[in-house]
Amino acid sequence: MTHGIIKKGPYVRNGLSRCRMMPSSSLAKKTKMQPEYLVAGVICLLFVMTRFFFADFYENEWAYTAGPIKMLHPSFLTGDPFISGITSTFLLYNVLAAPFYFLFNYLPATLICRILIWCFQIWALLKLAKTLGLTWWGCVLLFVIWLDVEQTLVAGEWIIKCATAKPVSYGFVFLSLDNLLRGRLKRSGIFSGLAISFHVLVGLWSTAAIVSTIVLTRKGGREVLSFCMAAFLWALPGLAPALYNAFFNASTMGSSAADVARVSVLMANPFHLDPNYFITAWEYLKVAVVFLLTIVFLKNLVVKEKALPLIVFISCLFVFFVSGIAARYGEWYLFLQYYPFRVFDAFLPLSFWMGFVLLFQEIFYRFPRRGVLLFLAVPLLIGGVNYLIDRCDSEPRYGFSLRSFTTCMLRTEPRLTAYNVKERYGQWNAFIRSDSLDDLKQIEVWIKEHTPMNSLFITPPWDWHFYSFTLKAERPEFVSFKYVPANGNILRWKGRMEILNRGQFHEMGFGILKELREHYPDLKEDELVRIKEKYGPDYILTSSTTRFNLPLIHENNSYRLYRL
């Protein structure tokens, strides 16, 4: 039936639905990635490299990089009291990443893993975006905007950044959603299972939302069962060792689950888990507005058969988000420690900008002769949205002035890309050409070459420069703020942090770093002796301004290393 069809721009309208026109050859190959989308993928890869491909470990990478290394060298960091469980927790990622750490040094292997993960994520995202109707240049525009105005909404979640198991999991979530929208439920279940295998929390929350979507949009119980069986089987490689590690370690610690959850939510990770910490009244409004606009975009700009499942999926994630807020008011910390804000906080901004680009495409094709003007308007539009989003933050980075609004627009393309290219060039040039080591690198190299392998080090716990100390010096740490165990060991972590703080904390989250910065330099020799007797650390590293009446092993202009 073709009567009543009116062609307008790139769309075909029949009064009931709207779909992008495709020649018959394209319809036959619509599941394959077309050449122009491959070009878009290359552009997106080059763009993300300008943002995150720097010649050092990212703050989230050091602990998770230890996993594949420990698979190859079980003796690596055996003296670290907290990092032992990370090998089994992310077993599947560690197995796949281990060969690169066998063939290359730690940093080159990590850089290779970053690029491979980005390629996979971009490919998966392009498939989902193409299914929703984005053109190849629309995909590039989406990617640029999404990374420019940050990936997170309020809870500090991210999808694309560094080489860990979590971004791989999100890539499989994209593929699972793509197959859900295409009606391939069994294949969607396989990808959901793989998402769980790589990162249990990301995979479980997204899978729960997809299962709810299938139940709410379909009547067949057989389809739900098919999806769940496929997801369960493919989740086992990662789910089984992660659960074993969590329950086994928790039971051996003899700790209260409620105590573990309370410390995790209120002290260690409130920037991800406690809405009272990271959400203000303005940000509640931001979440509500972005959520409603996303629903409107998808409902009016995506084919109905694909829009409905995606709207239900995002709505289910929204329900999880609201349940997390309710849990905080009810002080249900056991629920909050499973990150109910995670997938919604990351996926809603992406969905919103997908809708924004679809709207832009609609306008662009309605006025083909004004394309250049429309593209010139993009920085203004993104800058305005970015400015409004910034005004909703608890601590806005920009003020109300015209200069502040201009600053927001300058954060959009192409100016930001030019800035990032210059920054990456300068950093890599310094990295490749530098014949000298800064003070931190110098002392890390000295420690690696002159101290026993399993020596335990106390390092400045507030200083983010030491987040990759264990990789560069290849020595375990007494405690680190960046890696917090997810089981009963978190109480031991809290105890050691309080020892270095010389008492209980009055702040939480990043606030405890401020207290540590004030109190750590005031540690006394008798306190260090007691720490040595109870926990067995071998060395303490301090700034050059801190002096102890202890054997001084090594020093430079910035640091002093003492033997305990």
Find the largest Cα–Cα distance for the chain. Answer: 92
* pLDDT recorded at residue 373: 67
Query: Facing residues of 13 across strands?
Result: 6, 18
CA-closest candidate to residue 179, choices 168, 195, 190, 194: 190
Beta strand pairing call for 11-13 and 457-458: unpaired
Q: Residue 348: which residues within 8 A CB-CB, separation 6 or more? A: 153, 287, 290, 291, 294, 314, 317, 318
Q: What per-residue confidence (pLDDT) applies to 7?
A: 35
Q: How far is CA 369 from CA 21, 359, 372, 373, 377, in A?
A: 20, 17, 8, 9, 14
Given the DSSP bridges, would you call strands 11-13 and 552-555 parallel, antiparallel or unpaired? unpaired
Backbone angles phi, psi at 12, to 5 degrees: -115, 125
| Residue 108 confidence (pLDDT) | 94
Can you name the residues that pair with 350 across neighbouring β-strands?
Answer: none
The three-state DSSP-derived secondary structure of 306-331 is HHHHHHHHHHHHHHHHHHHHHHHHCC
Give residue 425's pLDDT. Answer: 85
- Which residues in the chain land under pLDDT 50? 1-29, 251-253
User: Token pair for residue 239?
Assistant: 């789910």
The closest alpha carbon to 476, from 60, 63, 105, 57, belongs to: 63
β-pairing, 552-555 vs 539-543, is unpaired
Q: Output the six-digit token pair for 124.
A: 């998966």
Its pTM surpasses 0.95: no
Which residue type sits at 232?
Answer: F
The tokens of 156 are what? 């500090």
Spatial distance between the Cα atoms of 484 and 487, rounded to a whole number of angstroms: 9
Bridge pairing between strands 539-543 and 457-458: parallel
Q: Lay out the sheet containing 6-8: strands in order across.
A: 6-8, 11-13, 18-20
Tell me phi and psi for residue 440, to 5 degrees.
-65, -45
**DSSP secondary structure, 111-165, as one string:** HHHHHHHHHHHHHHHHHHHHHHT--HHHHHHHHHHHHHT-S-SSS---SSSSSSH
Alpha helices (H) along 392-488: 402-410, 415-433, 439-450, 469-472
- Domain limits of the chain? 6-366, 439-563
d(CA 240, CA 249): 14
Of the candidates 364, 371, 357, which has an alpha carbon nearest to the alpha carbon of residue 132?
A: 357
Distance from C-alpha of 392 to C-alpha of 287, rounded to nearest angstrom: 10
Residue 78, amino acid: T
Task: Return the amino acid letter for 224.
Answer: V
Residues 371, 546: Cα–Cα separation, whole Å: 62
Alpha helices (H) along 14-105: 24-28, 35-52, 61-72, 86-89, 91-103
Query: Structure tokens of 538?
Result: 């071998």
* C-alpha separations of 340 from 247, 319, 430, 452 in Å: 20, 9, 41, 43
User: How does strand 6-8 pair with strand 11-13?
Assistant: antiparallel
Within 10 Å of residue 38's Cβ, how many Cβ atoms?
Answer: 13
CA distances from 495 to 499, 518, 535 (A): 6, 18, 11
CA distance 417 to 411: 9
CA distance 41 to 62: 28
At 547, is the secondary structure helix, strand, or coil?
Answer: coil
**pLDDT, tens only, 525-552:** 899 999 999 999 999 999 888 888 899 9
In this structure, are residues 275 and 325 in contact, taking their beta carbons and an 8 Å threshold? yes
Residue-wise pLDDT tens digits, 33-52: 688 999 999 999 999 998 89
In terms of Cβ atoms closer than 10 Å to its own Cβ (0-12, 13-18, 19+), residue 252 is exposed
One-letter amino acid of 273: L
Q: Residue 73, SS3?
A: coil
